[in-house]
Amino acid sequence: MSNLKKPIVTDQAPSAIGPYSQAVVAGSLIFASGQLGVDPKTGEFPDGVEAQAKQSLENVRALLEAAGSGLDRVVKATMFLKDMNDFAAANAVYGTFFVEPYPARSTIEVARLPKDALVEIEVIALVD
């Protein structure tokens, strides 16, 4: 392993379901892999886009905290939605996790997400 990047692993977020890290710290940035709204304790999805968006962001928070960072240090977020008609609902949940100055963000509708999830969120954040 290169000393230029360090993998972050926590049982407070779902484990990787493929050949990737939950998150990686490189320099002063943490790159969190996309987080589905899966409960890390049960492996199950809650019902509905709001509940999945909330769990996804809880998983993101857990990864950031495991790396010594936090949601207040997020500089870029990407939200993937199965259906853009769910944007307002997912956005309302997203808004409860962040305060000004808000991170830059992209939202993309996708044909399908892993495990048929309704939402997936990934972030880039500052870390010490």
Reported as a single tens digit per residue, the pLDDT across 54-81 is 999 999 999 999 999 999 999 999 999 9
Reported as a single tens digit per residue, the pLDDT across 115-125 is 999 999 999 99
Q: Which segments of the chain does DSSP mark as H helices, in order?
A: 49-66, 87-95
> How far apart are the C-alpha atoms of 27 and 108, rounded to whole Å?
28
For 2, 29, 45, 80, 117, the CA distances from 24, given in Å and listed in that order, are 12, 8, 25, 20, 23
Q: Which segments of 5-127 does DSSP mark as H helices, in order?
A: 49-66, 87-95
> In 10 A of CB 127, how many CB atoms?
19
pTM: 0.95
